[in-house]
Amino acid sequence: IDVIPNGVELDRFCPADRDEESETLRLLTVGRLSATKRVDMLVNAVKLLHGQGRDVRLTIVGGGQFEQQLRESVSGKDLRDVVRIAGRVEPEKMSEIYRDNDIFISASVQEGMSNAMLEAMASGLPIITTRCEGVEELITDNGVIVEDANAEDIAAAIRGLADNPQARKEMSAAARSRAQTFTWDRVAQEY
């Protein structure tokens, strides 16, 4: 069986030019808001970090059947200033959203080959994800795979990268390098 991966536009999705680190650690998740994405688990991880005095923000991009429930949950947990639910965003604006963040996080139960993860990698974002099908093909030295899918372990992975800017920098470079193996030109050659 020959497997041909998804591709990513490297000229559109590229790392931000930053001279200095932001005081706030900006987390991003992108995807359909459904039960399989477990976005509520990410919100709970951010709540734990916020409760520990960590300066973190989570942006959630995507729409779906759980959007209203998620908004109510964020409001009920008094996280409106910490968690931003952007809803569905036009594809033309996504490259800027990736560049405005520091780490891409996911708690998905299943993925094929995540386009959002590929775009985040091309944008130079380190990845924190739970173990599920598809992530082994994308995550090597460019991120962290959380073995047990729970808010505490996700929060610990985020804390680990928050406390180690050098590791984030190395993972960022590795993410971009890894994304370069998934160009559309390369995918076209495979076809």
* % of the chain surpassing 70 pLDDT: 99
Confidence band of 3 (pLDDT split at 50, 70, 90): confident
So what's the pLDDT on residue 21? 73
The one-letter code for the residue type at 134 is G
Q: Which two tokens stand for residue 144?
A: 């962290």
Residue in 28, 185, 37 with CA at minimum distance from that of residue 108: 37
101-143 pLDDT, tens per residue?
999 999 999 887 889 999 999 999 999 999 988 788 899 999 9
Pairing of strands 83-87, 103-106: unpaired
Q: At what angle do helices 151-162 and 165-179 cross, to 10 degrees?
A: 100
Q: Is 87 helix (H, G, I), strand (E, B) or coil?
A: strand
CA 120/CA 103 separation, integer angstroms? 8
Which regions of 37-141 does DSSP assign to beta strands (E)?
56-61, 83-87, 103-106, 127-130
Match 């899918």 to its residue by tokens.
149
So what's the pLDDT on residue 137? 85
9-68 pLDDT, tens per residue?
999 999 998 767 778 999 999 999 999 999 999 999 999 999 999 999 999 999 999 999
Which regions of 15-160 does DSSP assign to beta strands (E)?
25-30, 56-61, 83-87, 103-106, 127-130, 143-146
Q: Is 170 helix (H, G, I), strand (E, B) or coil?
A: helix
148-172 pLDDT, tens per residue?
999 999 999 999 999 999 999 999 9
